[in-house]
């Protein structure tokens, strides 16, 4: 990969922050967008803007065609067996809540169990916790090993014949670990449960095949995948989707409405109530095209190098604790750490003054913080468009911040 | 990286307060007010004892970043011995100061070392760190008043 | 208003469609966007993109400040008493479903009544119909007069002490009528009901004051207000919002999460689960700024002229039936009509070939079509950026289409 | 406006079929298949009677635009007298034609007047209008086959 050409595709990477070159290492929160995505949104509004699925006129047909083409593109991207099993939401959070509100609401009984893991983001924990409370079901948690990976013995213990739903992140947004979805899916299915996969941190970093994973539902967000905010995806197995009553009603999700009764449109329109985020979907299409042109082989080579530099760099500081696996081989592009005696907020502010954007906080995973026995951590996360120079700047700034506070 | 910029926010007085906070600890038999900053997970507990309309004793405890610890520490210095009304005015003045609003000189004078935290106004994401203890104190005083 | 300057602000208006100048008269479906809105979105991604409410670093603060500033702007735009009573959704449809799923779900009992009007869009009908079915409540319908206006006697009859929710469009998306919200609110409140107002067709055309209207909830979409797709607004009275459990969970809508229990963040963050449509909200802010700079006085003068030209032009055709009021004084910027003996789809296709975009169909108001005793209608709708030449082109093309089919 | 463009879609044969549709009406004692186009509200009912493996009678009824009425009318002409298998092939060929796919000349010949509706391929929002009756016929034939 020609990294300087790639960086030129992302104009914000060439700006300054606090008088220093912007070193953006909060990619796990949201990625930056290539010019191609920004342009796709502008071009849509400059040339093709109309409401979709509604108009007879040419402009509306153009908008609808572009919108529906992205559905095909998403289906191909995650290897969904058919386009109908993919629909657009607002975000990963919206997608996961949708599954809880439809599948969960329509299938759970008192006494049933929902199993999550100890590393879940609030968006894949709180919807299930609240569903469990509403249904008098039990929420159970698969524990982690000391290196932050899923404890398989715990998985086998927690998933039982009472389990109806296993909800798990494909990749952690804190520990940089990947969960064994295929194995978990087999275990869940053996017990008659479905598996709901939170793919927010996976889709930008590895090829995803929902059929090989055997995921029943797979959720992700456009904005973590070079795409715009306000658009998410939910994939569901068609046979499951066909059993579900929609969560929202109105607009073009109907096939016939009388005062007394509504017949719903076929899937997937049935699940897209109201005017969708048309420009967001078109922007997501441009993001997928960009990623497909680069190819995951090139992306993964670059991200592995960056992760190695980042992780090994951090591990050279004797007073830095890295959470999760300590070996690059097991480590995704997200690294959480703390510096002895310096509060994560102070670290992040110090780095910010050096133009380095990292996150400090609980990363929407408060229960995981309790497992790690820390109130919060610092987190640096890379994307293929980061450079070796970015990581070097980060490590140098961290050294300076340490010296300042430890003076 | 220019350490000058770090110095803008983390003035020596702030670092010193954070390292060796004043009035850190707990008072027996005095109600405690605990507030947390959901973004960073910081938790501050403040206890205020009022005798004859004046703050006779004040303590804080909890975990936090340099800014929130230092701010709590200078706050205890500033509020000790003040009347409840005066303390509430000082808390208001401090709240204005840290969001960059103009505050009359009489107040900045009385805020003393706390006024140094006015520099946080340029770091919007850290303002909540600076105000956490003061909000807890305001709440504690409000409950005493009732 | 200098109309040619204003049209220059909307680049798409100066494009061609089927070899003719684009004459966009489907504004009720979605409006076109000024360059200022398109630029605001691009600028955000080029300079300020970061996730909101999360980061300690400067970029995140910049994104959060811009996002939250739009909340203030929206609150001022609809004269909400406080910023906390406004939160962002995906669309009007999302906002209305939210009210049904929270307020409706948490307050309705079997035997209660929900009252809607005969002119509702599916998005303000089907959520209530489905809620009524779930709750064994009754859905009641306020009828229209022969000119399509709300029949006040019917309103007084339908709204009773059993009524818990009155759901009504501020302006119809078919008939061009405005409903007497203030009067309805008084009636609803007298009976102890709340009033939910669908403002989708109102906010772009008239100043809205939710306090004067005394609306309990007020919903609208950005994309019908010069803003981007994928962003909607819900205003709710603070005292009501405070009683409601969120509909979605996850991300930064929490203040504390343990495995067993979640404490929610204060309002409005409590109701914005997951990463919001940040660029969409910022685009909406630019749209509101554009409208505020123009001012509603100028907008209404221009739109009244266009509506008069449109309505009176249509009424000169002896074989054209206009639905709704026949007088301009009672008529909003939306005109639905049919041509004797020519199917609406054929009319719309004929007009499309002349570069004129109008909508043909049921306009997501199938039950209203039954009231009007037509399967579908044609609908032309204007926005201030339309010109007298647009309307003249539309009327000339309609004449040609008529001649073609009636030859 | 150029009427030429309207002529591209609404060829004379289409207008004539729409004005005076063939085989319009209902058959007693023959099951009816009704489909609707949710966008425009059009409803088409088709009835197919098969005797000795051949379509002996076919009727359509319902409301719709010029394209859907004309398409239903030419369809009844094309399918009358065909074997069930041949009818299904013709429906397939027609479905391809109207989305602009290439169809062997043998089929366009047999489709006769229906082939004229191939022009709808350039009007994507009207394709559903052209196919509604044919989908209904396919469904009706499918149910007979069982
Ligand atoms: C009156 C009315 N209500 C609701 C809606 C739904 O708006 P949206 O599709 O943006 O959710 C519309 C527009 O389609 C409308 O005109
Ligand atoms: C693992 C994981 N799940 C879910 C989410 C929620 O995504 P969003 O905020 O786009 O809904 C995130 C990102 O914040 C995440 O990292």
**Distance between CA atoms of A17 and A12, rounded to whole angstroms?**
10
Give C127 to chain A, closest Cα distance, Å: 5
- The residue extents of the domains of chain A are 3-32+295-406, 39-292
Contact call for residues A376 and A360 (beta carbons, < 8 A): yes
In ligand 2, the atom with minimum distance to the C-alpha of A90 is: 11
Give the distance (Å) from ligand 1 centre to CA of residue A403: 57
- What the block records as the tokens of A70 is 């992205």
Q: Give D46-61 pLDDT, tens digit per residue.
A: 999 999 889 999 999 9
Q: Give me chain D's average pLDDT, please.
A: 88
Residue A213, pLDDT score: 98
DSSP C375: S
CA distance D93 to D83: 15
List of chain C residues with pLDDT < 50: none
Q: Are strands B42-51 and A194-198 parallel, antiparallel or unpaired?
A: unpaired
User: Per-residue pLDDT averaged across B47-55, rounded?
Assistant: 92
Q: Which of C94, C224, C230 to mutate to test the pocket of ligand 1 (most atoms within 8 A of CB)?
A: C224
H or E element in which residue D48 lies: strand D42-51
| Stretch (H or E) spanning C302 | helix C296-315
Facing residues of B44 across strands? B35, B62
Q: Which two tokens stand for residue C25?
A: 């008269």
Structure tokens given for C32: 């076109």
Phi, psi (degrees; rounded to nearest 5) at A122: -50, -30
**Alpha helices for C83-151 (secondary structure H):** 92-99, 105-107, 126-135
User: Do A344 and B6 make contact, defined as CB atoms within 8 angstroms?
Assistant: no
The arithmetic mean of pLDDT across residues D36-43, rounded, is 77
**Cα-to-centroid distance, C172 and ligand 1 (Å):** 10
Phi/psi of residue A128, each to 5°? -75, -40
Chain C interface disruption, residue of A274, A361, A380, most C CBs within 10 A: A274
Query: Of the ranges A40-44, A97-101, A361-365, which one carries the lowest mean pLDDT score?
Result: A361-365
CATH fold of A3-32+295-406: 3.90.1150
Among A205-214, A315-324, B91-100, C129-138, the least confident range:
B91-100
Structurally, at CATH architecture level, domain C39-292 sits in 3-Layer(aba) Sandwich (3.40)
Indicate yes or no: CB of B40 within 8 angstroms of CB of A404: no
Kindly tell me if the per-residue pLDDT of B118 is higher than 90: no
- Once rounded to an integer, what is the mean pLDDT over residues D33-51? 86
Whether residues A255 and D39 touch (CB distance < 8 A) is answered with no
Distance CA A183, CA A172 (A): 17
Reading the block at residue C147, the tokens are: 């000119």
pLDDT higher at B49 or C53: B49
Give the pLDDT confidence score for residue D139 in this predicted structure: 92
Query: Subunits touching A (CB < 8 Å, at least 3 pairs)?
Result: B, C, D
Closest-approaching ligand to the CA atom of A250 = 1
Question: What are the residues facing C254 on neighbouring strands?
Answer: C264
Q: How confident is the model at residue A338 (pLDDT cuts 50, 70, 90)?
A: very high
The CA distance from A261 to A255, in Å, is 11
Please report the pLDDT score of residue D146 as a whole number: 43
Cβ contact C361:C404 at 8 Å: no
Q: With contact defined as beta carbons under 8 Å apart, do A383 and A303 qualify?
A: yes
What distance in Å separates residue D124's CA from the closest CA in chain A?
7
CB contacts < 8 A (B, C): 20
Residue with tokens 């606090």: A18
How high is the pLDDT of residue D1?
54
Q: Determine the pLDDT at residue A117.
A: 98
Nearest-Cα residue of chain C relative to residue B128: C56
Q: Indicate which atom in ligand 1 lies nearest the CA of residue C198.
A: 3
Q: Which long-range contacts (CB under 8 A, 24 or more apart) does A151-158 make?
A: A152/A180, A152/A183, A155/A184, A155/A187, A156/A187, A158/A113, A158/A115
Residue nearest to atom 14 of ligand 1 (CA): C29
Distance D38 CA to ligand 1 centre (A): 17
**Contact, A379 vs A363, CB < 8 A?**
yes
Nearest bound ligand to the CA of residue A219: 2
CB–CB of D123 and C349 under 8 A? yes
Query: 3-class secondary structure for C203-260?
Result: CCCCCCCHHHHCCCEEEEEHHHCCCCCCCEEEEECHHHHCCCCCCCCCCCCEEEECCC
| Contact yes or no for C377/C347 (Cβ under 8 A) | no
Interchain proximity B38–C60, CB inside 8 Å: no
- pLDDT at residue B50 greater than cutoff 50: yes
Q: Distance between CA C285 and CA C233 in Å, rounded?
A: 12
Residue C20 has what pLDDT? 92
* pLDDT tier at B115, thresholds 50, 70, 90: confident
Mean pLDDT of A170-185: 97
Q: Which domain holds residue B88?
A: 3-142
Within chain C, what is the greatest distance between any pair of CA atoms? 74
Structure tokens at C74: 């929206």
Residue C322 makes CB contacts below 8 A (sequence gap 6+) with C311, C314, C315, C335, C336, C337
Query: What's the predicted TM-score (pTM) here?
Result: 0.95
Question: For chain D, what is the domain count?
Answer: 1
Nearest to A229 among C125, C275, C364 (CB): C275
Q: How far is it, in rounded angstroms, from Cα A129 to Cα A123?
A: 10
Decide if the complex's ipTM is over 0.90.
yes
* pLDDT range class, residue B146, cuts 50, 70, 90: very low
Distance of alpha carbon A378 from alpha carbon A355, whole angstroms:
16
In this predicted structure, the answer to whether residue D2 has a pLDDT above a threshold of 80 is no
Would the CA dihedral through A296, A382, A306, A143 be positive or negative? negative
CA atoms within 13 A on the CB side of C374: 23
Q: What is the pLDDT of residues A119-154, one digit of tens each?
A: 999 999 999 999 999 999 999 999 999 999 999 999
Active-site residues of A, by number, are 364
Q: Cα separations (Å) of C154 from A193, C25, C44, C195, C276?
A: 51, 33, 49, 16, 41
Distances (CA, A) of C112 to B1, C107, C164, C299, D74: 66, 10, 6, 41, 53
Chains C and A touching, counted as 3 or more CB pairs less than 8 Å apart: yes
Helix (H, G, I), strand (E, B) or coil at D34: strand
Q: In terms of residues, how long is chain A? A: 407
Chain pair A-B, CB pairs under 8 angstroms: 56
pLDDT beyond 70 at A81: yes
CB C52 within 8 A of CB C67: yes
- Ligand 1 mean position to C201 CA, how many Å? 7
Q: Of D82, D76, D83, which is closest to residue D113 (Cα–Cα)?
A: D76
Cα R_g (chain D), whole angstroms: 14
- Interchain proximity B38–C256, CB inside 8 Å: yes
* A-interface mutation test, from C250, C261, C350, C355, most A Cβ less than 10 A away: C250
- Taking the C-alpha atoms of residue C165 and residue C183, their distance in angstroms, rounded to an integer, is 15
Q: What is the DSSP string of A158-210?
A: H--TTEEEEEEESB-SSS--B--HHHHHHHHHHTT-EEEEE-TTTTTTS---H
Count the Cβ atoms, other than its own, within 10 Å of residue C305: 17
B4 closest CA partner among A360, A400, A348: A400
Whether C407 and chain A come into contact, CB under 8 Å, resolves to no
Containing D89, the helix (H) or strand (E) segment is helix D84-98
Which long-range contacts does C235-240 make (Cβ < 8 Å, 24+ apart)? C235/C78, C235/C80, C235/C85, C235/C86, C235/C210, C236/C85, C236/C99, C237/C85, C238/C81, C238/C82, C238/C84, C238/C85, C238/C267, C240/C103, C240/C194, C240/C216
Q: In this predicted structure, what is the pLDDT of residue C338?
A: 97
Among C74, C78, C76, C109, residue whose Cα is nearest residue C89: C74
Ligand 1 lined by A251 (C-beta under 6 Å): yes
- What would the two tokens of residue A328 be? 């690059």
Written as six digits, the tokens of A8 are 């030129």
In Å, how far from its chain's centre is CA D65?
Answer: 13
CA-based nearest residue to A347, from A63, A338, A279: A338
* Cα dihedral value C212, C214, C219, C223, nearest 10: -10
pLDDT for D145 equals 52
Nearest CA to ligand 1 atom 12: C200
D neighbour chains, 3+ CB pairs within 8 Å: A, C
Residue whose structure tokens are 């669908």: C198
The pLDDT of residue D64 is above 90:
no
Asked if residue A406 has pLDDT above 60, the reply is yes
Name beta bridge partners: C343: none
User: Does pLDDT of B39 surpass 80?
Assistant: no
C179 among known catalytic residues: no
Which chain C positions have a beta carbon within 8 Å of D6's beta carbon? 350, 353, 401, 404
- Give D11-25 pLDDT, tens digit per residue: 888 889 989 999 999
Q: Identify the nearest ligand to the CA of A365 by its number.
A: 2
The CB-based long-range contact list for B61-65 (8 Å cut-off, 24+ gap) reads B61/B24, B61/B25, B61/B26, B62/B34, B63/A375, B64/A343, B64/B37, B64/B40, B64/B129, B64/B132, B65/A343, B65/A344, B65/A345, B65/A346, B65/B40, B65/B126, B65/B129
**Beta-carbon separation of B40 and A396 below 8 A:** no
Question: A27-49: per-residue pLDDT in tens?
Answer: 999 999 999 999 999 999 999 99
For the CA of A123, the closest atom of ligand 2 is: 4
pLDDT band at B3 (very low <50, low <70, confident <90, very high): low
Which DSSP string do the residues of D57-85 spell out, in sequence order?
EEEEEEE--HHHHHHHHHHHHHHTT-BHH
State yes or no: pLDDT of D38 exceeds 80: no
* Strand, helix or coil for residue A296: helix
CA A148 to centroid of ligand 2, rounded, Å: 19
The pLDDT score that the predictor gives to residue D41 is 72
Give CA D36 to chain center in angstroms: 14
CA-based radius of gyration for chain A: 22
Indicate which CATH number applies to the domain containing B124: 3.90.1010.10
């Amino acid at each position: 990969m020609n990294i300087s050409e790639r960086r030129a595709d992302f104009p914000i990477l060439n700006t300054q922050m606090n008088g220093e070159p912007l070193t953006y290492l909060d990619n796990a929160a949201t990625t930056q967008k290539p010019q191609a995505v920004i342009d796709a949104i502008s071009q849509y509004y400059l040339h093709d803007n109309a409401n979709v699925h509604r108009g007879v006129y040419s402009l509306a047909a153009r908008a609808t065609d572009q919108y529906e083409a992205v559905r095909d593109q998403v289906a191909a991207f995650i290897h969904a067996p058919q386009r109908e099993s993919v629909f657009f939401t607002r975000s990963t959070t919206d997608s996961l809540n949708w599954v809880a509100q439809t599948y969960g609401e329509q299938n759970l009984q008192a006494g049933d169990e929902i199993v999550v893991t100890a590393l879940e983001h609030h968006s894949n924990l709180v919807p299930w916790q609240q569903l469990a409370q509403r249904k008098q079901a039990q929420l159970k948690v698969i524990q982690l090993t000391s290196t932050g990976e899923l404890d398989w013995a715990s998985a086998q213990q927690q998933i039982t014949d009472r389990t109806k739903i296993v909800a798990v992140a494909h990749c952690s947004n804190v520990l940089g670990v990947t969960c064994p979805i295929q194995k978990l899916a087999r275990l869940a299915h053996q017990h008659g449960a479905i598996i709901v996969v939170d793919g927010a941190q996976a889709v930008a970093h590895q090829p995803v095949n929902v059929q090989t994973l055997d995921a029943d539902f797979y959720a992700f967000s456009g904005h973590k995948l070079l795409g715009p905010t306000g658009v998410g995806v939910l994939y569901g197995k068609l046979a499951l989707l066909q059993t579900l009553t929609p969560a929202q009603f109105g607009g073009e999700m109907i096939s016939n409405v009388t005062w007394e009764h509504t017949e719903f449109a076929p899937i997937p329109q049935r699940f897209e109530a109201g005017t969708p985020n048309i420009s967001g979907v078109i922007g997501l299409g441009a993001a997928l095209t960009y990623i497909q042109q680069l190819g995951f082989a090139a992306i993964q080579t670059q991200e592995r190098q960056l992760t190695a530099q980042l992780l090994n760099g951090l591990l050279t500081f004797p007073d830095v604790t890295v959470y999760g696996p300590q070996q690059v081989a097991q480590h995704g592009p997200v690294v959480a750490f703390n510096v002895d005696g310096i509060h994560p907020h102070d670290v992040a502010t110090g780095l910010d003054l050096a133009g380095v954007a990292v996150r400090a906080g609980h990363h929407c995973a408060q229960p995981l913080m309790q497992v790690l026995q820390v109130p919060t951590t610092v987190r640096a996360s890379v994307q293929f468009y980061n450079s070796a120079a970015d990581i070097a700047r980060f490590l140098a700034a961290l050294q300076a911040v340490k010296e300042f506070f430890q003076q | 990286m220019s350490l000058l910029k770090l110095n803008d926010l983390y003035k020596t007085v702030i670092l010193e307060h954070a390292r060796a906070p004043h009035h850190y600890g707990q008072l027996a038999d005095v109600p405690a007010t605990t507030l947390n900053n959901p973004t960073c997970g910081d938790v501050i507990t403040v206890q205020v004892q009022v005798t004859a309309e004046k703050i006779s004793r004040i303590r804080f405890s909890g975990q936090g970043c340099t800014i929130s610890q230092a701010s709590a520490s200078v706050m205890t210095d500033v509020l000790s011995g003040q009347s409840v009304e005066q303390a509430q005015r000082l808390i208001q003045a401090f709240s204005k100061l840290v969001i960059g609003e103009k505050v009359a000189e009489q107040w900045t004078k009385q805020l003393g070392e706390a006024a140094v935290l006015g520099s946080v106004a340029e770091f919007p994401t850290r303002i909540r760190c600076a105000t956490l203890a003061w909000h807890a104190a305001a709440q504690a005083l409000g409950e005493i008043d009732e």
